[in-house]
Amino acid sequence: MEQLATVWRAVVLDRDPGADVRDLPGIAVRWADCRFAFWNCVTLTDVKAEAPLVERRLAQAADIMRAKRHPGFLWLFEDLLDAGARSALDDAAGRAGLQLAFPGTGMAGNVLPLPRPVHPDLTFARVRSDDELTAYADLNSRAYGFGLDEGRDGLAGSALWRQEAYAYLGLREGVPVTCAAAVPADGRLFVALVATAPEWQRRGYGEAVTRKALHEGARATGLTRATLHATEAGAPVYPRIGLRPNSPIRFYGLRD
């Protein structure tokens, strides 16, 4: 949760210096209010929260989300809740007007440094140019089911993604087919926006480019610990790198 709050502060303010970045009692708001839904985020921050408190926080979070122009997600880390709050979560979310969008998993590990990654099909390029940034955005849009304009609205012109993040494309015969980034944050490398073009999935490309981002990030910073938030589809990749699950995550959107 703290890694999310730290990294998303940076990416949201990179997208819009006037974005809604607030730390409220029990709720962190990181909302760029752009068309890229991943950049519109709220998360609950109370620890060992009981059911009545969680119900209030869910209602508050939903109200924040309703006041925005563009949709986004509430990221909820289940291990921050007590057992009673977890068992009552779906009903409480429904009463707040929220619905589960997809599940995820928080992962972490002292995995660095990693060997220099290789893949017989791929070469790697660090994202530096506008064209490379557009390719990175388009891969994420295609992999996660967004329109191309949505991903581009989130990443176009990003200084953070080109200069501070260790963001890499994996290219097959010169064509970008996969991507991943490692962002330094509070003594860790946070892995973000890993994506592979749908027609090239299940070939080890996502793992290879993630290894490349972590390898280069660790080489430049000396950091040894990595964290990430994995979707259900991506979760099987990261234990092969050495990361271990540490908390289930639920991503909620507003109910139509």
3-state secondary structure 36-95: CHHHEEEEECCCCECHHHHHHHHHHHHHHHHCCCCCCEEEEEHHHECHHHHHCHHHHHHH
Compute the distance between CA of residue 41 and CA of residue 64 in angstroms, rounded to an integer: 10
CA 83 to chain centre: 26
For residue range 22-78, list pLDDT tens digits in order.
999 999 999 999 999 999 999 999 999 999 999 999 999 999 999 999 999 999 999
The pair of three-digit structure tokens given for residue 43, joined into one six-digit string: 């998360």
Confidence of residue 155 (pLDDT cuts 50, 70, 90): very high
The pair of three-digit structure tokens given for residue 149, joined into one six-digit string: 């304009």
- The yes-or-no verdict on residue 256 having pLDDT over 90 is no
Query: What is residue 233's predicted lDDT score, i.e. its pLDDT?
Result: 87
The pair of three-digit structure tokens given for residue 189, joined into one six-digit string: 């490398």
Per DSSP, the three-state class of 181 is: strand
Angle at 65 between CA 62 and CA 70, to 5 degrees: 150
Compute the distance between CA of residue 169 and CA of residue 35 in angstroms, rounded to an integer: 23
User: Which amino acid belongs to residue 34?
Assistant: C
Which position has the token pair 């109370």? 46
- H/E run at residue 124: strand 123-126
DSSP 255: -
Domain spans of the chain, in order of start: 2-105, 123-224
Confidence of residue 91 (pLDDT cuts 50, 70, 90): very high
For residue range 226-247, list pLDDT tens digits in order.
999 999 988 999 999 999 999 9
Query: What is residue 206's predicted lDDT score, i.e. its pLDDT?
Result: 97
**pTM, whole model, 2 decimals?**
0.95
Q: Which CATH architecture has domain 123-224?
A: 3-Layer(aba) Sandwich (3.40)
CB burial of 46-60 (b: ≥16 within 10 Å; e: otherwise) equals beebebebbbebbeb
Give, in order, the Cα–Cα distances in Å from 214 to each of 7, 143, 221.
Answer: 16, 21, 10
Compute the distance between CA of residue 54 and CA of residue 44 in angstroms, rounded to an integer: 8
- The yes-or-no verdict on residue 10 having pLDDT over 90 is yes
Confidence of residue 195 (pLDDT cuts 50, 70, 90): very high
